[in-house]
Structure 1
Amino acid sequence: MPLYHTDDQVMLRDTARGFMADEGAIAKQLRHWRDKQCKDGFGHGLWKQFAEMGFTGILIDEADGGLGLGHVEAGIVLEEIGRNLTPSPFLMTAVAFVEAVKGTVLKDRWFPGILSGDTVAALAIDEGPKHRPDAIEMRAERSGNGFKLSGRKQFVVQGASADVVLVAAETDDGLTLFAVEKGAGGLETEGVRLADSSIGARMTFDGVEVDSDAVVGEVGGGHEVLDRALRAGRTGAAAELVGVGTASMDMTVDYLKQRKQFGRLIGEFQALQFRAAHLYSELEVARAATLKAQQLLDEGAPEAEAMVSVAKAKAGRASLLAVQEGVQMHGGIGMTDEYDIGLYMKRDRVLNELFGDPAFHADRLARMNGY
């Protein structure tokens, strides 16, 4: 499949770009909620607008009231979110959670609220300082007609605001995923402000009881559900990273065209031109890898698993290069809060860690290939 968007996808991109640049702009959203020390880190009013635009239903089947589109379209929205650093639950709720619940009986419980912009979801996977989904120690013991969950999770993005949390735990039958509702007895949630001003959470499960209806998929069949969520989340994060990197590059190039030093525009210096050209090339490769991963996911191709890791690693490295070059080429002023470039660096750091950093995915690809 060609690595470019169809006419319909271009129309979606133009719509999302205009909407995010206006309603999701940095001054209107990120700076506003950050300066107010908002406990959620995002505006619920904007989330309702996402729903009105149809964005929250992109991955939900038409039979369930959604648009029935795919990961390419979700990635288009996410790239524009990245361009504007728009704080929202879109990645966790409308992408990762929707993919996990799709095809299960729980879709009837949660999809209507997501479609209306009333429901926020989170994923509670990680337990240590790094993303290690193969090292889950939380236990779920059978109790009556359900289970009792005990353990701790951290880096639960939007966990403090979530109406439902997708929790991965080990049972006697194997890994199982549970949809735990807000306010469950024995659940303690501590909101933590992350580097980019979004809110993560540390969650403690002290014998949290859930009934059998909370199981996502089958008991012991959690790997299949988790893999769906992670593939969607990783590819979505890659798309957002491409947006972060592209906006950083555009901002930097504009600055090179305006800033003068020694009586000349600094953009005239050949060394900076070389660096800008190199950055552009890296971001285009990252965009192509991400689009390919999205297309393969939509096709259900077996090659998608590897390409998802390629996309997340490449987008992470390209975005990191973009924000580092951006801050450096802005000079000392790039480190001040007055200029937005520093905000892009902070968002890059969080997105790079989310769902695995470039080193994690490079190692994962090596293992896939027998190394």
Structure 2
Amino acid sequence: MDFNLSEEQLMLRDGVERYIREDYAFEERRHQAGSGEGFSRAHWQQFADLGWLALTLPEDVGGLDCSFVETSLVLESFGRGMVLEPFVSSAVLCARIVDRSGSDYHRNDLLPALIEGRLLLALADSECGSRFSVGCAEDTIARRTAQGFQLSGVKTLVFNAPSADKLLVTARFEDCSHPAVFIVDRDAPGVELNEYILVDGSRAADVRFSKVELADAALLIEPSHSQAILEEAHDRAALAVVAQTLGVMQGVMDMTQEYIKTRNQFGQPIGKFQALQHRMAEMFVEAQHTRSILYRGMAYLDKPAPERSKAISAAKAAAGKSGRFVCAQGVQLHGGIGMTEEYPVGHYFRLMTLLEKQFGDIDFHLARFAAGY
């Protein structure tokens, strides 16, 4: 297998890295994290203008129809720059669900707007008893009405819900075990958000639906084929997070390597101490392990569900373990400065902590991997 990047892929990677270096410095990120939405609409529009939101979407809706490799290159750089914009939740996860929904009406309505930066989507599917949930008060139920549908229930930990224009909401009919997927305006009557700031500075919310009235056109995916679409989209998002985690690890290693070259102790740079060189070597090995298993995950991304799920779970679990190690070592090698708010390495650790939990933590993916045998 040829792991070399094509000329176009190299140009994409270099372009994203240059953007992060010149326009998304650490102080800019800190400023955006403290802003009202927790990210920059101006940066999001730049992502759209540069074509990054269109990478994996098909040409018939204005996309570039690229492979997942291009998405992973963007997200690795985003991890290195600790980008706050909701790329994975909106442009990877939700875009994939809409694209595979089978509804030409919704595809042609939502996806071009997303590609152009005019629309932000968020998936509301975590609730009491769901695989990624932390608990909630009640399930989300859909009832048919004369005008369409009525939604009631609660969703927890909906990433980027406070800034989303529309929510993709999973809800079960009382006579069906599989959920349907509905499109709901964030500010629709009966939708109530309890917003909060996550550990990395991004935003999420618990969302309550109190007898929210929806038209027939709000139904995006019928229960009969929602499960396969949702699971495949979650797997793609989980692998995107692996690429982002790899970028975080690279950012920590670059910063730590530079620090131990310039920090003097006992009359010489601490990078000359063999014990610290061994630490850096171990960090490098963990990062390369993550890169290798990311490539393996991409090779299985279009395989049938059992094979794909095992490969994605292996990648997500391994990346979580390696990310913890690399970021913890980075903070420790920096000493006291690594714990300060003004220094980036601690922020890398916070972001890695969030990424390890997104779309299933280490324990979840180890269990799913084992269940595949």
Coarse TM-score class (shorter-chain normalised): over 0.9
Q: CA RMSD in A?
A: 2.1
Is the contact made by 2:57 and 2:64 (CA closer than 8 Å) also made in structure 1?
Answer: yes
Aligned to 1:226: 230
Aligned to 1:33: 32
In 2: Cα distance, 1:123 partner to 1:260 partner: 49
Aligned to 1:15: 15
User: Which deviates the most, 247-256 or 176-185?
Assistant: 176-185
Aligned to 2:288: 284
Aligned-partner residue type, residue 290 of structure 1? L
Question: In the alignment, is residue 111 of structure 1 matched against residue 123 of structure 2?
Answer: no
In 2: Cα distance, 1:7 partner to 1:180 partner: 41
Partner of 2:159: helix, strand, or coil? coil
Offset, 1:288: 1.5
Partner of 1:27: helix, strand, or coil? helix
1:182-221 alignment to 2 at 5 Å? 182-221=186-225
Offset, 1:132: 2.8
Identity %: 35
Aligned to 1:64: 61
In 2: Cα distance, 1:303 partner to 1:7 partner: 31
Is the contact made by 1:130 and 1:356 (CA closer than 8 Å) also made in structure 2?
Answer: no
Aligned-partner residue type, residue 188 of structure 1? E
- Which blocks of at least 5 consecutive residues in structure 2 are unaligned? none
In 2: Cα distance, 1:10 partner to 1:332 partner: 37
Aligned to 2:143: 141
Partner of 1:33: helix, strand, or coil? helix
User: Which deviates the most, 217-226 or 306-315?
Assistant: 217-226
In 2: Cα distance, 1:264 partner to 1:5 partner: 39
Offset, 1:180: 1.3
TM-score (norm 2): 0.93
Out of 167, 170, 175, the residue aligned to residue 168 of structure 1 is 170
Partner of 1:303: helix, strand, or coil? helix
Partner of 1:167: helix, strand, or coil? strand
In 1: Cα distance, 2:130 partner to 2:94 partner: 20
Cα distance change, pair 84–120 in 1 and its aligned pair in 2 (3 A): same
In 2: Cα distance, 1:134 partner to 1:69 partner: 35
Offset, 1:133: 6.8
Is the contact made by 2:286 and 2:326 (CA closer than 8 Å) also made in structure 1?
Answer: no
Is the contact made by 1:124 and 1:167 (CA closer than 8 Å) also made in structure 2?
Answer: yes
- Which blocks of at least 5 consecutive residues in structure 1 are unaligned? none
Offset, 1:4: 4.2
User: Which deviates the most, 302-311 or 330-339?
Assistant: 302-311
Is the contact made by 2:134 and 2:156 (CA closer than 8 Å) also made in structure 1?
Answer: no
Cα distance change, pair 168–49 in 1 and its aligned pair in 2 (3 A): same
Deviations 1:128-171 (A, max 9, x none): 59953799932212222422211111211110110111112222
Offset, 1:5: 2.8
Offset, 1:245: 1.1
Aligned to 1:123: 123
Is the contact made by 1:39 and 1:199 (CA closer than 8 Å) also made in structure 2?
Answer: no
Offset, 1:230: 0.3
Cα distance change, pair 218–130 in 1 and its aligned pair in 2 (3 A): closer
Aligned-partner residue type, residue 227 of structure 2? H
Is the contact made by 2:128 and 2:134 (CA closer than 8 Å) also made in structure 1?
Answer: no
In 1: Cα distance, 2:229 partner to 2:37 partner: 27
In 2: Cα distance, 1:115 partner to 1:16 partner: 17
Aligned-partner residue type, residue 25 of structure 1? A
In 2: Cα distance, 1:65 partner to 1:184 partner: 28
In 2: Cα distance, 1:366 partner to 1:102 partner: 31
TM-score (norm 1): 0.93
Partner of 1:180: helix, strand, or coil? strand
Cα distance change, pair 2–305 in 1 and its aligned pair in 2 (3 A): farther
Partner of 2:158: helix, strand, or coil? coil
Q: Which has the higher contact order (CA 8 A, sep 6+)?
A: 1
Partner of 1:166: helix, strand, or coil? strand
How many residues end up aligned between the 2 structures?
366
Out of 86, 89, 94, the residue aligned to residue 86 of structure 2 is 89
Is the contact made by 2:79 and 2:246 (CA closer than 8 Å) also made in structure 1?
Answer: yes
Aligned-partner residue type, residue 272 of structure 1? L
Partner of 2:251: helix, strand, or coil? helix
Cα distance change, pair 15–298 in 1 and its aligned pair in 2 (3 A): farther
Partner of 2:201: helix, strand, or coil? coil
1:311-350 alignment to 2 at 5 Å? 311-350=315-354
Is the contact made by 1:59 and 1:71 (CA closer than 8 Å) also made in structure 2?
Answer: yes
Cα distance change, pair 138–185 in 1 and its aligned pair in 2 (3 A): same
Partner of 2:227: helix, strand, or coil? helix
Is the contact made by 2:122 and 2:159 (CA closer than 8 Å) also made in structure 1?
Answer: yes
Aligned-partner residue type, residue 163 of structure 1? D
In 1: Cα distance, 2:351 partner to 2:370 partner: 27
Is the contact made by 1:257 and 1:265 (CA closer than 8 Å) also made in structure 2?
Answer: yes
Offset, 1:64: 1.2
Offset, 1:305: 1.9
